[in-house]
Amino acid sequence: MKTADVLARAVATLKASPAIDHWQKDREEIEADDLLCFALGVDELDPQDDVPPGVVRRYQRMVERRATGEPVQLIKGFAVFRGLEILARSGVFVPRDSTEFLAEQAIRRLRRRRDPVAVDLACGGGTVGLAIADEVPAARVYGTDISAEAIRVARLNARRLGLSNATFLTGDLFGALPRRLRGAVDLVALHPPYVAKRELRELPEEIRRFEPAHTLTDHSANGLGLVGRAAAESGTWLKRGGWLLIEVSPDRARSVAKVMRDHGFHDVRSTVDTGFKVTRVLVGRWR
């Protein structure tokens, strides 16, 4: 079969799937392309090339998995995040392209500082912390997560990427950090669970079925319980003039800004990625 025909069939299957959140224009084309490149082990496709029958069968199985809502990153086993190959494993939050903006905002601020210390709170598989460790080699990065499985994957990612300036610890928010870091942290980045408990069932199936609940919600009524705790505790760890960065959905931005101001953060702003625009990153400076 020709590449163009294989792709057309896959796109039709993905478009018809009720389990996929069809929010992004051309999402099905992009994903069909991505999976076929992966199946063929190439970076680019030529529509006129023939696809070997064995690859067509393997590709169709991947497309069927995607049509059940399974994220592409889990099917491939990895995500590419700011150029890094980050392992994606079931049970650990799948890295999202939209979170690259949180990493970018953190990296910009850390590059201006000498030998900075950064904390990636609720780090999942280490995504943001690893990007910082890679792009700001002088930084010492600590990632923490309540999930031991997430920390296992984060450590594995750090080893595979050879990023020895990133340390990952299991614990509740700042609980696992060494006490000597109190007052010594330049920047805290947080992409928290922020979905209100009652909104969990309204999430697209591909998120509800494939992300563990503790990665999506802290079970508080407004979804901002963990954000409030992080804002309250960050002051103990940040240097004067240090930064707190929090990624949330646009509808939560105003509430999170208020939480940050109420806990003593200054210059609080909502920043938005010019590309995805699906999230906001709240930035605030400590005293």
Ligand X SMILES: C[S@@+](CC[C@H](N)C(=O)[O-])C[C@H]1O[C@@H](n2cnc3c(N)ncnc32)[C@H](O)[C@@H]1O
* Site residues, ligand X (CB under 6 A): 93, 95, 99, 122-124, 127-128, 144-147, 150, 172-173, 191-193, 214-215, 226
Backbone φ and ψ of 261, nearest 5°: -60, -45
Nearer to ligand X, 3 or 73 (CB): 73
Nearer to ligand X, 60 or 170 (CB): 170
Nearer to ligand X, 2 or 209 (CB): 209
The least CB distance from residue 221 to ligand X, in Å, is 16
The least CB distance from residue 189 to ligand X, in Å, is 8
**For every residue of 50-72, which 3-state class applies, written as one string?**
ECCHHHHHHHHHHHHHHHCCCCH
The least CB distance from residue 251 to ligand X, in Å, is 16
**SS3 at position 188:** strand
Query: Could you report how far apart the first and last alpha carbons of the chain are, in Å?
Result: 63
Determine the residue with CB nearest ligand X. 124
The least CB distance from residue 176 to ligand X, in Å, is 9
* CA 111 remoteness from chain centre: 21
Nearer to ligand X, 3 or 99 (CB): 99
Nearer to ligand X, 11 or 252 (CB): 252
- Stated as kind and residue range, the H or E segment containing 29 is helix 27-40
Per the CB < 8 A criterion, the answer to whether 103 and 65 are in contact is no
Strand partners, 15: none
The least CB distance from residue 20 to ligand X, in Å, is 20
Q: Tokens 């979905």, residue?
A: 195
Strand partners, 143: 120, 168
Burial 9-34 (b: 16+ CB within 10 A, else e): bbbebbeebebbeeeeeeebeebbbb
Nearer to ligand X, 28 or 273 (CB): 273
Nearer to ligand X, 35 or 102 (CB): 102
The least CB distance from residue 184 to ligand X, in Å, is 20
Question: Helix count (H) and strand count (E) of the chain?
Answer: 10, 9
Per the CB < 8 A criterion, the answer to whether 63 and 14 are in contact is yes
Ramachandran class of 61: left when φ > 0, alpha when ψ lies in -120 to 50, beta otherwise: alpha
The least CB distance from residue 95 to ligand X, in Å, is 5
